[in-house]
Amino acid sequence: MSTELKASVRDRVGKGAARELRRKGLIPAVIYGDKKPPLSIAVSVREMTKRIHGGGFLSHTLTIDADGAKHQVIPRDYQLDPVRDFVLHVDFLRVGARTSLTIEVPVRFVNEEESPGLKRGAVLNIVRHTVEIVCLASAIPESFEIDLTGAEVGDSLNISMVTLPEGAAPTITDRDFTIATIAAPSALRSEKSDDDGEEVEESEGEEEATEDTSGE
């Protein structure tokens, strides 16, 4: 999808102006930040709907061409109609090369076929589908990859396994938090429970035999 978005500057604001825009297939939006005055614009509702539902809308920078003037931005919020799921409004934040952002980056898991645990029937239990980091607007990663090669049943896949962009850091800094685990399937858990139960019964039997012998 193109990183450039066409827009037009609007000089009217308010509910009446917004309704008029929507009749024309447009929706109101605003560009703000970077110590500059807010700029009210209108963008295509079809284009916005496609981008929002295409995934990663709030974690990608783009260029807005507003009547010939170009603005480097990142979407920060959007409003949907609670009934019809219709896009009502979008907020864009101006960014520069040194702008620092708090952003959520999706996590991808690769080489599942190389995981001994998953081959045995274990389950990839995803704790976090995204990781929130602080990074420069010019260095936002598309996603984080976690390699499952060699992952065994019971393994935890933590943030320390992720390669972060230079200067980036997770917002959680007090622990090596878990992103996913390789969880044992119910069949393996049942087998382990049965084995543990047999060991307990054998141990109890040995204790009883010892007590009987001492009693004689």
Task: Count the domains in the chain.
Answer: 3
Check whether residue 116 and residue 177 sit in a common domain.
Answer: yes
pLDDT computed for residue 127 by the predictor: 97
Check whether residue 140 and residue 89 sit in a common domain.
Answer: no
Check whether residue 42 and residue 18 sit in a common domain.
Answer: yes
The residue assigned the tokens 């599942």 is: 112
Check whether residue 157 and residue 110 sit in a common domain.
Answer: yes
Under DSSP, the state recorded for 57 is: G
pLDDT computed for residue 190 by the predictor: 56
Asked which of 62, 95, 128 is the last residue of a domain, the reply is: 95
Check whether residue 118 and residue 141 sit in a common domain.
Answer: yes
Give the pTM: 0.72
CATH number at residue 57: 2.40.240.10
- Given a contact cutoff of 8 angstroms between Cβ atoms, the answer to whether 47 and 75 are in contact is no
Check whether residue 87 and residue 32 sit in a common domain.
Answer: yes
pLDDT computed for residue 134 by the predictor: 96
CA 160 to chain centre: 17
Check whether residue 12 and residue 91 sit in a common domain.
Answer: yes
For 145: left if phi > 0, alpha if psi spans -120 to 50, otherwise beta; the answer is beta
Instruction: Tell me how far apart the terminal alpha carbons of the chain are, to the nearest angstrom.
Output: 86
Q: In the beta sheet, which residues pair with residue 181?
A: 125, 156
Query: Which pLDDT tens digits describe the chain residue by residue (216 residues)?
Result: 458 999 999 887 777 888 889 889 999 999 999 889 999 999 999 999 999 988 889 988 999 999 999 999 999 999 998 888 889 999 999 998 788 999 999 999 999 999 999 999 999 999 999 999 999 988 899 899 999 999 999 999 999 999 998 889 999 999 999 999 999 986 555 555 555 555 545 545 444 444 444 444
| Domain containing residue 212 | 185-216
